[in-house]
Structures are given as C-alpha cells and as structure tokens.
Amino acid sequence: MERCTATTEQIVQKLLHELSLPHDLGSIQFNSSASIGIAQFPTHGTSAPELIKNADAAMYAAKLAGRNQYSFYNDQMRQQAIARSNMEFDLQVADRDNQFNLAYQPIVRLADRQIYGFETLLRWQHPLRGELKPDSFLAIAEDNGMISSIDQWVMHSACQQASLWRQQHGQFSFKISVNMSCRQFLQPNLVQDIQSLLAKYQLESSQLILEITEAMAMQNIGQSIRVMYELRELGILLSLDDFGTGYSSLTYLKKLPLNILKIEQSFVHDLGVETDNALIKSIIDIGRNMDLLILAEGIEQQHQFELMTKLGCQLGQGYFFSPPLNSTDIVLT
Ligand code: C2E
Ligand code: MG
Ligand code: MG
C-alpha cells in the first residue's frame, strides 16, 4: 500500500509538471495548470462510479488548495462535496429567484476627493445565510458554468443602473467599473455583446471600465491582447485589478492596452514600512510613465490616503472614503 501511494504521487507530480509547461499553439503561447483528485480502490470505493465521484471531490479540494495541486480523497471531503452540491443547488435558485444584487463602491480622485466612478461588487442575498460575498460562491459558479449567467446579469444590471443615474442626473459622467470573470473575458462574443448593451442603455463607452486580473490576461495572452485592443477601440476603459499579486510582469504590462492600474490592497495596508513605500513608489512611477491612471485599493486610514496621494497615486478606493453601498443609498449631486 505504501509503495503504491509513493508511485501514485510520483505519477501525479510528473503529470502536474508536464501540464504546467507552456504549450505553443501556433503564434500563441498557452499556459495551463491542473488539479488532480485521487481515489484508490478499495479504500476509497469499490465501484467505478463511487471512485470517480470521490476522485472528483478530491479534485475540488486540490483546486481549493490553490490549483496545480493534487489531493487524495478523505472522508471530510464527502462532507465538503455535500456542502458544495447544496451550494450549487442554492445558486441555481438564486439565479432563478433574483437573489443577486450589486453594491457600488465609490472610486475617488485623491486630489479633490470627488467621485470618479463606482466599482460594482456582486452580493447574494441568501434566504437563510444572509448576505454572501463573492469569495464564498464565485469559484463554485466558475467551476460549474453558472458564472456565465451571473456575468450577464452583472453586466446588464451595472449598465442599467448607470443609465438610470444618467436619466436622473442629466450630467452623469461617472464611470462604472465591472469585474470580469475569466470565462466572460475569453467568451467569443464579448465585444459585440458589450457594444449592444451600451447601445441599449445609451451609455458612452468611456463610462464603462472593465476590470481584469493579470491571471486572466495571462491565461491566453494572445487572445487577451486582441480582445483588449477591440474593447479599447470601442472607447471602453480597461483596468488591471489586484496588481502586484500575480505575475506582475512588466513585459506583459507594456503589451496590454490598459488605462488603469489598481494596486492591490495589501500594499496599501503595509504602507509605512520603508521598503514597501519604495516598492509602491516604483510601481506608481512605472505606471505613470506608461500613461496609466494609478488607483490604490483598500484605503482605510487617513495616513494611507495622504501617503498614496504624496506618492503620486491619482485614484483611491476603500472604507476611508466609503464602503460598498446599495444604489438606493447613493445620493448624486
Ligand atoms: P476586487 O475587485 O479586488 O474588489 C475589492 C474588494 O475589496 C471587495 O470585496 C470590496 O468590498 C473590498 N474592499 C473595498 N474597500 C476595502 C477596504 O478599505 N478594506 C478592505 N479590507 N476591503 C475593501 P468583495 O466585494 O468581497 O469582492 C471580492 C472579489 O470578488 C473582488 O475583488 C472581485 O475580484 C470579485 N468580484 C466582486 N464582484 C464581482 C462580479 O460582479 N463579477 C466577478 N466576476 N467578480 C466579482
Ligand atoms: Mg475589482
Ligand atoms: Mg481588487
């Protein structure tokens, strides 16, 4: 048994390594990773369906452990698989019964603290568990494909709200910033769909900001650059979310047609430590040299606001200015 486990581990490690190597698809370099779940006969099941089901549960545990990992099945996973399947069912009900809503967090110009725009943040009003934030359910929705329906709803609702604000305040010139999922970003009709939505709600394309992450852009860098140029061509603004947490490759940063660079919250929270200040200063300088607007996420305190302003950041977001709000709590003047 011991020897068998060691061999299994060696095989999966080799598989993970091979699968993580970049693949050349013509002119495009494609990066991928795998998550592997392992169930062994007879310890984890005595029939093929049972083994496959348990290997599947182990695979989700591997994904949760950060992807590019493997996991052996254990009994705790059975409980997690049940919780997951309950969540999947609840998500379908949520979609059907309109349990989702959007919160809007102001993005502020640091120079005068005036509102530049609003980031839309997804919320789920679960009938039993109360308000749920995206980190507790989006990964499951991405895995089972429900994300497509949620994405559509988010994009639609964000544009509808912007249009409503525009009707109420003729001079509405704020931006609406929408977080994209990986699947949505690589969906073939993305550009046409967004174009039709903008037309439907009579919005200027420059009012819409789409937020992507480095990981999303890097999944298929060739297609990402192409799609981003098409979106830019339409006049839509592109923002790189959570900059500093992923690859943070300057080579790719130069290739992506971006407008805004969002510095990840942890940098802002660590402000004050001299080396971090120097790091943030160089990120801001590089971004500004590339003609990007620099936005600091997660500003919670006065000194963070003052320091980010001093370091040359133009935009900010965080509890210091405002938490995410219901649309009804936003009074535009
Ligand atoms: P994100 O886009 O980086 O959003 C910023 C997160 O930081 C939000 O968490 C926001 O509520 C929180 N935040 C804002 N100000 C502060 C602050 O001062 N301090 C701290 N500690 N946190 C602050 P939230 O709403 O839980 O969203 C988490 C992530 O879920 C988002 O990160 C985004 O990646 C994703 N997400 C949110 N809405 C959507 C959506 O509609 N579609 C997709 N695909 N992803 C979404
Ligand atoms: Mg965001
Ligand atoms: Mg962010």
* Residue 249 near residue 277 (C-beta atoms within 8 A): no
For ligand 1, whether the C-beta of 122 sits within 6 Å is: yes
For ligand 1, whether the C-beta of 162 sits within 6 Å is: no
Q: What is the mean pLDDT of residues 158-179?
A: 90
Nearest CA to 147 among 194, 214, 100?
100
pLDDT digits (tens, 9 = 90+) for 186-196: 999 999 999 99
Residue 262 Cα to ligand 3 middle (Å): 7
Pocket test residue of 121, 122, 131, 305 for ligand 1, highest count of atoms within 8 A of CB: 121
- Strands (E) located in the chain: 23-25, 28-30, 36-38, 70-72, 100-109, 115-126, 130-132, 175-179, 208-213, 237-243, 260-263, 293-296, 315-316
For ligand 1, whether the C-beta of 304 sits within 6 Å is: no
**Fold assignment, 2-73:** Alpha-Beta Plaits (3.30.70)
What is the pTM for the complete model shown? 0.86
Pocket test residue of 119, 135, 179, 238 for ligand 1, highest count of atoms within 8 A of CB: 179
For ligand 1, whether the C-beta of 263 sits within 6 Å is: no
pLDDT digits (tens, 9 = 90+) for 1-12: 444 566 899 999
Residue 167 Cα to ligand 1 middle (Å): 27
pLDDT digits (tens, 9 = 90+) for 202-226: 999 999 999 999 889 888 889 999 9
For ligand 1, whether the C-beta of 217 sits within 6 Å is: no
For ligand 1, whether the C-beta of 133 sits within 6 Å is: yes
Residue nearest to atom 7 of ligand 1 (CA): 298
DSSP string, 43-66: TT-SSHHHHHHHHHHHHHHHHHTT
CATH 3.30.70.270 location in the chain: 2-73
For ligand 1, whether the C-beta of 324 sits within 6 Å is: yes
> Of 70-84, 175-189, 296-310, which gets the smallest average pLDDT?
70-84
Confidence of residue 31 (pLDDT cuts 50, 70, 90): confident
pLDDT digits (tens, 9 = 90+) for 264-285: 999 898 887 777 788 889 889 9
pLDDT score, position 6: 67
* Token pair 């725009």: residue: 117
- pLDDT of residue 176 exceeding 90, the answer is yes
Which ligand 1 atom is the nearest neighbour of the CA of 180?
A: 44
Of 71 and 80, the one with more pLDDT: 71
Task: Mention the CATH class of domain 90-329.
Answer: alpha beta
Q: Distance between CA 300 and CA 278 in Å, rounded?
A: 20
Nearest CA to 131 among 141, 118, 122?
122
Q: What are 38's strand-pairing partners?
A: 72
For ligand 1, whether the C-beta of 142 sits within 6 Å is: no
CATH 3.20.20.450 location in the chain: 90-329
Which ligand 1 atom is the nearest neighbour of the CA of 181?
A: 44
Which ligand 1 atom is the nearest neighbour of the CA of 242?
A: 3
For ligand 1, whether the C-beta of 300 sits within 6 Å is: yes
Which ligand 1 atom is the nearest neighbour of the CA of 317?
A: 15
* 3-state secondary structure (DSSP) of residue 255: helix
Query: What angle is formed at CA 242 by the lines to CA 137 and CA 37, rounded to 5 degrees?
Result: 45
DSSP string, 121-142: EEEEEETTTEEE-GGGTHHHHH
